[in-house]
Chain A
């Protein structure tokens, strides 16, 4: 199973083996990773599942939709490597992915 590492803002690491098909947001929420809210349940509408993708993975996690692009302007502390984790699906190709969580979602 693909192994995804979430690093909280305070440095705490969560290393999870996630089933392909779920989103990074779902993986986090299902495994008590604090720092991702995901209130809209993955509808790309609340901007509270914000993560920073490790630089070497930015071009490997899939393209952003126009909707996601627009909402990424609305997260707190947006960076060039910001993504909405509900829009990134876990696949075998993402085995080893590292994402960092922002200081706050809202």
Chain B
């Protein structure tokens, strides 16, 4: 039985899509209806399915053979039927994905990302110290828009003075207009913005990720041992720079937004930094920046008694799964003492977020450094602005009064 735009048992028609800013601003009661009334949802207007329960999203992410990333992981990209350039491993299946990802999975590890703590802390200090005593902070403009890009730029070896320009170019390619599906620009993931650095680094090697990518030998999907081509390096750099920037920026925005609403717990965390990792996990659970991912269905599959045909697009609603009351009691509440079961903010399976350790370390240090200087704040809601971008969910501005 189709559940699209027909009255669910709740009496009111259910409609969801990933690029409606009104839905995105406050999706959670709609997500609950989807979980309860349409756990397999079909959107007739745009022709896609969606799953919203934790168990279903987890199952779909784990089964990369039925639910493939090889046509992209964004709804509009899959529909556009683009050619995925080799090396764009986020949009590849095994064996190509396995070979490429192995090159970088040893870079973004728990140990190495924790080793960056000193530098990340220094970056935070340089962003936050000037704000002390002013009574104001904008979690995006003052920190979210600077820290992740700066750290990725540092990892990639991009000279400090150029990191802002590079970040802006990458961000522009991910932006969407309010209410519109993302327009797919083939060049947006071809590494535009990094060519000059790649060529310069070839001549001036250093101890950074770009140099490492240029020199590393790996076994490609055909079994051949070789180096990455220049085009593959460009794409790697672009994926890493793109993926690691807006998402972590959004996390910092949500730190500011969510903790404004829970002053008692915020003060508790300020007094006990051992609570910071749990706080970050709860913020990721409540408002994951990657709020949905899409998959291309490769074979007929049965979900909740219905057949989803091969060739369909399936959206995995991570932000809905993270608040599934079947897994989390009182799921809409931030609870730093929750001892939560693992969430899906970083995905699951072979495409689980490569940068999750970096995001966690950045998020924790950012929160710690914020609380050291500003244990109390209230978001200026009138002037806070959500981003219209549908690739991630979060804020363009989170201005706050610090007390």
A85 at the interface (CB under 8 A from B): no
Q: Which residues of A contact B193 (CB under 8 A)?
A: none
- Say whether B114 contacts A106, CB under 8 Å: yes
Interface residue? A46 (CB, 8 A): yes
| A48 & B110 in contact (Cβ 8 Å cutoff) | yes
> Do the beta carbons of B106 and A74 come within 8 Å of each other?
yes
Min Cβ gap A73→B in Å is 7
Shortest A31–chain B CB gap in Å is: 11
User: For B62, B106, B347, B361, which residue has the most chain A Cβ atoms within 10 angstroms?
Assistant: B106
A71 near B342: Cβ-Cβ < 8 Å: no
- Does A45 lie within 8 Å of B101, measured CB to CB? yes
* Max count, chain B CB within 10 A of own CB: residue among A37, A41, A70: A41
Flag whether A39 is at the interface (Cβ < 8 A): yes
Query: Is there contact, CB below 8 Å, between B339 and A75?
Result: no
The proximity string for B residues 330-352 relative to A, scoring 1 for CB distances below 8 Å and 0 otherwise, is 00000000010110001111101
Does B109 lie within 8 Å of A34, measured CB to CB?
Answer: no
B73 to chain A, nearest CB (A): 16
Q: Judge whether A32 is part of the interface by a CB distance below 8 angstroms.
A: yes
Which of B110, B277, B349 contacts A75, CB < 8 Å?
B110
Are the C-beta atoms of A40 and B111 separated by less than 8 Å?
no
Within 297-351 of B, Cβ neighbours of A (below 8 Å) are at 339, 341-342, 346-350
* Identity of the chain A residue whose Cβ is nearest the Cβ of B107 in the assembled complex: A74
* Residues in A70-106 with C-beta less than 8 Å from chain B: 70-71, 73-76, 78, 104-106
CB distance from B364 to the nearest CB of A (A): 9
Closest to B101 in A: A45
Nearest CB in chain B: distance from A70 CB, A: 6
Which residues in B have their C-beta under 8 angstroms from that of A106?
110, 113-114, 356-357, 360-361
How many contacts between A and B, using CB within 8 angstroms? 65
**How far is it, in angstroms, between the C-alpha of A43 and the C-alpha of B353 when the chains are bound?**
13
Q: Which residue of A lies closest to B359 (CB)?
A: A106
Does any Cβ of A come within 8 Å of B112's Cβ?
yes
Contact B62 A41 (CB under 8 A): yes
**Chain A nearest CB: distance from B217 CB in Å?**
14
Given A29-B342, A45-B102, residue A39 in contact with residue B110 (CB < 8 A): no
Residues of B within 8 Å of A37, CB to CB, are 342
Is B187 close to A, CB under 8 A?
Answer: no
Among B61, B110, B348, which residue has its beta carbon within 8 angstroms of that of A47?
B110
Tell me which residues across on chain B come within 8 A of A76, comparing CB atoms: 110-111, 114
Complex Cα gap A46–B188 (Å):
27
Q: Are B111 and A75 in contact (CB under 8 A)?
A: yes
Report chain A residues within 8 Å CB of B101.
45
Q: Which residues of B contact A (CB under 8 A)?
A: 61-62, 101-102, 105-106, 109-114, 277, 339, 341-342, 346-350, 352-353, 356-357, 360-361
Query: Which A positions have Cβ atoms within 8 angstroms of B?
Result: 29, 32, 34, 37-41, 43, 45-48, 67, 70-71, 73-76, 78, 104-106
Known: A38-B342, A41-B349. 20 other contacts (CB 8 A): A39-B347, A39-B352, A39-B353, A41-B62, A41-B348, A41-B350, A45-B102, A45-B105, A46-B356, A47-B109, A67-B102, A71-B105, A71-B106, A74-B106, A74-B111, A78-B111, A106-B110, A106-B113, A106-B114, A106-B357
14 A-B contacts, Cβ less than 8 Å apart? Answer: A39-B347, A39-B352, A40-B350, A45-B101, A45-B105, A47-B110, A48-B110, A74-B109, A75-B111, A78-B111, A104-B277, A105-B110, A106-B114, A106-B357
